[in-house]
């Protein structure tokens, strides 16, 4: 249910952006969902119309895009996508020591507005 708090936060930010741009309406929000989060895009989609109702966002679409995980190996410096087949180890050196660079975030990527 924490998806609702993400939707509210993104809606608030999108409304602020639309107001700054003096937009007549908002057509679309694009949100990237990291594959290492526990955020489910289908729930973002489910809650969005309710949050958008009665605002400049009403009638707009919420699009979600996956954000692939990227890890940097702390042993050899290789950047890679962790794979189950390799037990999420570095494919270059086999190390289990890595720093997650991407894939843990949920990001408002784009707000598409229409002018007056």
pLDDT tens readout for residues 77-99: 999 999 999 999 999 999 999 99
State how far the Cα of 34 lies from the Cα of 32, in Å rounded to an integer: 6
Summarised one tens digit per residue, pLDDT across range 11-55 is: 999 999 999 999 999 999 999 999 999 999 999 999 999 999 999
| The pair of three-digit structure tokens given for residue 105, joined into one six-digit string | 């975030």
Q: Would you state the pLDDT for residue 1?
A: 63
Q: In Å, how far are 25, 66, 67, 85, 116 from 41, measured between CA atoms?
A: 23, 9, 12, 25, 31
pTM: 0.86
Return the closest-CA partner of residue 16 out of 74, 50, 8: 8
Question: What's the CATH number of domain 3-68+103-114, 3.40.640.10, 3.30.2320.50, 3.40.50.920, 3.30.420.40?
Answer: 3.30.2320.50
């Amino acid at each position: 249910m924490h998806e609702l708090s993400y939707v509210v936060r993104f809606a608030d930010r999108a409304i602020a952006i639309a107001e700054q741009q003096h937009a007549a309406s908002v057509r679309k929000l694009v949100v990237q969902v990291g594959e290492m989060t526990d955020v489910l895009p289908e729930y973002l989609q489910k809650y969005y119309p309710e949050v958008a109702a009665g605002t400049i966002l009403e009638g707009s679409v919420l699009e979600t895009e996956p954000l692939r995980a990227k890890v940097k190996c702390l042993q050899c410096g290789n950047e890679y996508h962790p794979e189950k087949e390799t037990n999420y180890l570095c494919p270059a050196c086999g190390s289990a020591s890595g720093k997650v660079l991407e894939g843990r975030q949920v990001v408002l990527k784009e707000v598409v507005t229409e002018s007056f």
